Every structure is written in structure tokens, then in C-alpha cells.
Structure 1
Amino acid sequence: MKTRDGVLPGGIPYVAAGEGPPLVVFPGFAPRNENPQGLERALAFGAFGELRSRYTIYQLARRPGVAEGATVEDFANDYATAIRATFGGPVKVVGVSTGGAAALRLAADHPDLVERFVVAGAAHTFTPESHAAMQGWLDRARQRRFPMQAMTIVLTTSPWWRPLARVALFLLNDLPDRGKDVSDGIATCQALMRFDCSDRLPDIRAPMLLILGERDGFVSPAIREATIRGVAGSRLAVYERRGHAGILLDKRFARDVGAFFGRDAEGTKDDSTKEADRVVASNERA
């Protein structure tokens, strides 16, 4: 898979792959706001499967050097600057986890820039359990200890699987999150723990698809239902037996994203949407 790196206006790093019209991706949490490398990059683009032959997928990192006290609204505003300068008009957006929170704010605050959008592994706020995990990451990062072990909730909510999750997450520590600057991650965690855009959901006008795992510890059933009720015309796909990270490994993800983006402005569908309609519930609220 050929990829290319660059920096968009406003200092937003990006990596792009594929062909066709733009599909803009806001990624999940990272200790540093930079483009993914190696296996992490392959996994990021692999989640989109054959969509790489239909779209040019631009994955936009958050702006490096974000200060403590920054908000998810700030992340969305940075993305808005980059999108407006680069693409001019509205684009299709996929926001994953942290990026999903930013996508909600972008759709609410900059409606002229969002044609349709998918929020995956996020909602209008996050659970207390996820806040505790993020606080654990913060504490360990500030102590210059390997921080990822605090985020077992990313992989599983089961106490039986937590030891294995800790081992897996230890291997994801950038051994040097000890010895490297993780201030971007600290600021991002703080912003996520303060995030709640429930009051802005009625302002969203772009069609939204919300994709969540049934076992996602970051978004409870009550939170996901409140998000769906708050956004007019939104749609919901819940993947059974999947957790926070597992939705990106599910073959349904690329299929459902492609089907949702295959709908045109008048609401007609191409053939690719038929299978997605079997698993995607509508909330066609006026």
C-alpha cells in the first residue's frame, strides 16, 4: 500500500492513501500528535479495506504541541482550518474514538465542512470507567512509567482478560513513551475527560452513522442512545461481541462505512447499501 505524508494548513500532519474523492479520517488517541508508522499505519488503513479503491483516505493527526487546557472543540477548529484550506467544501468524515468526539464538534460547529460523517467508538461523552482509565494513563505518563497498561478498557471490559490485555498494551508502549515527550497525549486525555457535547447535538445537520461495539467500555448503552436521539436522522450500527478497538477489526466496518457514504444527497441508495441496511438501525427523526 503506497502512502504519502505531509502537513496541512494549521500544522496538521496527514498520511494519505488510495484514489478518488477525499475521505477524511480523524484517528483515535495517541501519545504524540504525529503520523502513524509501520504496523500502526497498516492497521489504520487496513480497517477501510476496499474503500481505498474508491476514495483517497486522508488520516489527519491532531496538531502537535497542543497545550494543556485544550478542548475537543479546539481539535475540531484545527481540523476545520485544515479542511477548509485544503478541500474548500464539505467532505466525508470518519472519526474514531478521540477523533469521533472531534467529528461531532466539527459537524456541530462547522456544518459547511461536513457532507456526511461516521462516528466510531465515541459518542457525545464518555463513561466514568473510561475516565478512570484515562486518569490512570495520565498518572503513569507523568511519572514517566509505561502508561498504556492503564488502558485495558480499550481492549476488554472483562476482568478475566485484563492480564492478557496488559501484556498486549505493554507491547504497544512506545518504549519510549519513557524518554519521549507525551505532552500531546496528556492534553488529549484531559480534553476527553471534560468532553460533553450533548447540548450541541441538535445543531448537527449532516447525516451521521454511529458505529459501536456491544462491549465498548467507553460508550454505555445509555450514552449511545442519547447521542442517537440527539442527532436528527442519525443511524446506529452495534457490533455484537465487539469492544472499543474491535470494531475496526470487523469486516462490517468498511462495508457499513462504504454503504453509508454511498447514499446521495436525495437519500437514494446504490446496491452496496442493501447489506448494511440489515444491520444498521434508522432513527429518521424529523
Structure 2
Amino acid sequence: MPFLAVGAGPPLVFLAGITPNHEPPTGSDRRFQTRQLLPFAASRRVWWVNRRPGLESGATMADIAADYANAMLRRFDEPVDVIGESTGGSVALQLAADHPAVVKRLVIVSAAYRLGDEGRDTQLRTADNVLDGRPRAASAEMMRMLGAGTQSRRLLAALGWLVGARFFGHTTADLITTIRAEDAFDLHTRLADIVAPTLVIGGGRDAFYSAELFRETAEGIPRGTLALYPGRGHLGTMLDPRFLPDVLSFLDPPDDAGSPATLAEPGVGNDDITR
């Protein structure tokens, strides 16, 4: 499985968002991915891990999560903290439900137990554009959804069109397989199986999801906490100045009794932090 590793300290596994292929990142993509990890690398050994290349046609989210679980069992001697962002967040939820022994704490960023309807439609249209040889249209479709409002979505769609040939110019069947796996993904009835303390972070104007989907995800996890950033879209969540302090305080609480997420016992209720 392609990976990058930076920093030193306890391991932190970062599950990436959707990518046009599952090859090791190079050039500007490698720099972009590395920049996401650096804020955590001061105190952690951060492992950015993408999906396995050559996914079998028809692979499900459970199949993809099993790849991660097998790799983590081989690499680490004990459960580790996991951050999953966007599509990586969907995989991380499946991983924690199916393979609880590998996950210590879980942070879900801009993801929920299923995609929203518009998010599903967008990803399927993106897949159709890729299959039809329209990389610019595919990129514009996907980038449009990253904004928080009409103007930002229009600007991001234009940017997506400009960079589309480069971003979607080298796609593989793994992209289509991953999109179809996420289209079928719905973990609503399995959320109670997630035993790891979990922080769900979402933007109140995320076009792929909704505030209600984020809330339902956090509430369905026995030790789940929601941090909702009103006004933020899919892209803006990780750029929000509250994001890094929220994640770091959750992963490294003042004492082992833990963060707000660990204080909500199963059946008692969950914390909800709207910022």
C-alpha cells in the first residue's frame, strides 16, 4: 500500500481522501500530502496510507478496510490512533467497526456513515466523466463540491477545469472501484460496533454531507463527539484554525482518562461541540 511517513513519536495513521490512482504520490501531490501531515509530525510518527493498488473489481468498503487492518497488524504491535479524511474517513469508520483491535482513537474529518445524496451523485458523475475520457469535466465536478457556497463552488469548478487534465489525466480502475464502494457504503446500523473514542469533525456547509449526517454519525458511536464548524465547506474544515487544536487535544488529552469523547459512556450520551 502506498505510504508516506514523517515525524517521530507514537504512530498516527492518516487515511487519505480520494485520489485518481493508488500509486505513490510524486511532485506537487507528494508535497501537498506531506503538508497535511506536518502539523502532527512534531509529536507523532505520521503514516499517510492510500488504498491498495489493483483493487478487485467490485471491492467493497469492507474489503478496502481489511487491507488497512492487515497492514496495520503487520506494522504495529498495538492499536494506533487513526485519522480518516473524506473518503479516507469512510474507510476509517469501516475499519473501526470491522477491526476494533487495530484502532485506539479515531478522528473522522469531513465524512459520515454515508455520503449525502448530492455527494453520491457528484462522485458517480465524476466516475462517468473519467470513463468517458473527460478529465476536465471530472475535475470540475469534484472540485465544485469543495466550496461552502455558490461563489466559492463556481470558482473551484473553474479551477478544477483548468487543472483537470493534470489531476485526472492518469487515473486507474482503482478510482472507479473506490467511488463505487463509497456509493454503496452505509454504516448506519454498524456505528454502535465502533468502540474507539471517536471525534467527528464536519463543516456545516459541506456539500458532500450535511450537518445532520455528521451529527447522526457522532451520536451513533458510543464514545463519539461532534465538532461542527458552521459555515465551513468540505475543503474548509481542515483549514479552519480550530481544527488542529481540536484534533491534538483529542489525540493527546491531559490525562489517560481522556478527552470529552472518552467521558461519554455507552448508553449515557455523546458530547456535541458546535463551534
- Normalising to structure 2: TM-score of the pair? 0.89
Which residue does the alignment assign to 2:173?
183
**Residue number in structure 2 paired with 1:59:** 48
The equivalent of 1:193 in structure 2 is: 183
Q: Which runs of 5+ in 1 are unaligned?
A: 1-11, 270-276
**Are the aligned partners of 1:134 and 1:189 in contact in 2 as well (CA < 8 Å)?**
yes
Deviations 1:8-50 (A, max 9, x none): xxxx111111111110000000110123333333333333454
Post-superposition shift, 1:168? 1.6
- 2:151 aligns to what? 160
CA distance in 1, matches of 2:258, 2:92: 24
User: Is 1:99 equivalent to 2:88 in the alignment?
Assistant: yes
How far 1:183 sits from its partner (Å)?
A: 1.1
Of all paired residues, the percent bearing the same amino acid is 35
Distance in 2, matches of 1:284 and 1:44, equals 35
Tell me how far 1:174 sits from its aligned partner: 4.8
Tell me if structure 1 keeps the 8 A contact 2:202–2:211.
no
Give the deviation of 1:163 after TM superposition: 2.9
- Secondary structure of 2:166's counterpart equals coil
Match of 1:114 in 2: 103
- Structure 1 window deviating more from structure 2 (161-170 vs 58-67): it is 161-170
Q: In structure 2, how many angstroms separate the alpha carbons of the residues matched to 1:122 and 1:37?
A: 26
1:3 alignment partner in structure 2: none
Deviation at 1:228, TM superposition (A): 1.5
Larger deviation: 221-230 or 18-27? 221-230
CA contact (8 A) 1:141 1:182 kept: no
Match of 2:70 among 72, 81, 99: 81
Find 2:202's aligned residue among 203, 212, 220: 212
Q: TM-score if structure 1 supplies the norm length?
A: 0.85
- The alpha-carbon distance between structure 1 residues 175 and 153, as it changes in their structure 2 partners (threshold 3 A), is closer
Distance, in Å, in 2 between the alignment partners of 1:45 and 1:206 is 26
Displacement after TM superposition at 1:267 (Å): 1.6
1:239 aligns with 2:237: no
State the SS of the aligned residue for 1:36: coil
Q: 1:285 deviation in Å?
A: 4.4
Shift of 1:248: 1.8
1:148 counterpart letter in structure 2: S
1:222 is paired with a residue whose SS is helix
- Aligned amino acid, residue 160 of structure 2: L
Aligned to 2:272: none
Take 1:283 and 1:168, find their aligned partners in 2: how far apart are those partners?
43
CA distance in 1, matches of 2:88, 2:255: 24
Pair 186,268 (structure 1): closer, same or farther in 2 beyond 3 Å: closer
**Matching residue's letter, 1:121:** S
